[in-house]
Structure 1
Amino acid sequence: MTRVVHALGYSLQGLGAAWKFEAAFRQEVILAFVLFPCAFLLANNHIELVLLISSLFWVLIAELINSAVEAVVDRTGTEIHELSGRAKDIASAVVLLSLILLAVVWGIIAWHRFLGS
């Protein structure tokens, strides 16, 4: 149980660091807080609700991964290196794909809710 408590503490420290040092994470958290209640209004059933909410969490997860990769790459040095750039670009692509997923999920469900048959 002690390990679980410590792991929770480390996770909360990670969330705190992301909030403190990553503007994009703060913006995405605010977006999630705005859209989360909207998901309950938009969803017609529990499956749609799960899709809407999980797409919000995927964006936050992707941003945390991106921030972690950037921190590790920046920690290793300030010189420009092809592999460092590639790692950062790939992590950034994870965020982009999660945002596209968010837009697709929300767009399809909103389309069916307001314009579909």
Structure 2
Amino acid sequence: MNFHKFGKSFVYATQGVLQAVKTEQNFRLHLLAAGIVSLAGIFTGLSKWEWIIVVMLIFGMFMIELVNTAIERVVDLVSPDYHLLAQQAKDIAAGACLVYAICTVIIGLIIFIPKWSVILF
């Protein structure tokens, strides 16, 4: 195993995440949402298993946004001019992000609403 190459792979991966943070508005929006959800979790006293679910949802959203961004960049590279299939590929990748985001909201509501109802009532 080449430890130098292994170490550089972490550098490249970090550069990829930072590039997404700098250039992708949706990624920054998800970072903000993750911060808000994390604060809400702290203030509502999530259980260990609830935190595990929330962390998996948050990082799952980050991962799918990164994959979506990579797909968009590759499509732009291989198809700089408009092409229907290129547009469909980008739309489908964005759709995957939307579906996962809806899933995270539903699960988040399932976790948080019972806790908020105890606090409010």
- TM-score normalised to structure 2 length: 0.84
Aligned residue number for residue 112 of structure 2: 110
Deviations 1:22-75 (A, max 9, x none): 111112112212222322333542111111121111211111111111111111
Number of residue pairs the alignment of both structures matches: 116
User: Whole-Å Cα distance in 2 between the matches of residues 44 and 71 of structure 1?
Assistant: 38
Identity %: 26
Task: Provide Cα deviations, 1:56-110, integer angstroms capped at 9, x if missing partner.
Answer: 1121111111111111111113222222122111110111012111111110011
Please tell me the root mean square deviation across aligned C-alpha atoms, in Å: 1.7
Equivalent AA in structure 2 for residue 74 of structure 1 = D
Of 98, 109, 116, 1:96 maps to: 98
Structure 1 runs (4+) deviating above 3 angstroms are: 40-44
Moved more, 53-62 or 76-85: 76-85
Contact 1:40 1:49 in 2 (8 A): no
**90-99 or 80-89, larger mean C-alpha shift:** 80-89
Cα separation, 1, equivalents of 2:34 and 2:17: 15
Give 5+ residue unaligned stretches, structure 2.
Answer: none
Residue in structure 2 matched with residue 84 of structure 1 by the alignment: 86
* C-alpha distance in structure 1 between counterparts of 2:76 and 2:55, whole Å: 32
Q: State how far apart, in whole Å, the 2-side matches of 1:99 and 1:4 are.
A: 32
Unaligned 5+ runs, structure 1: none
Per the normalisation by structure 1, the TM-score is: 0.87
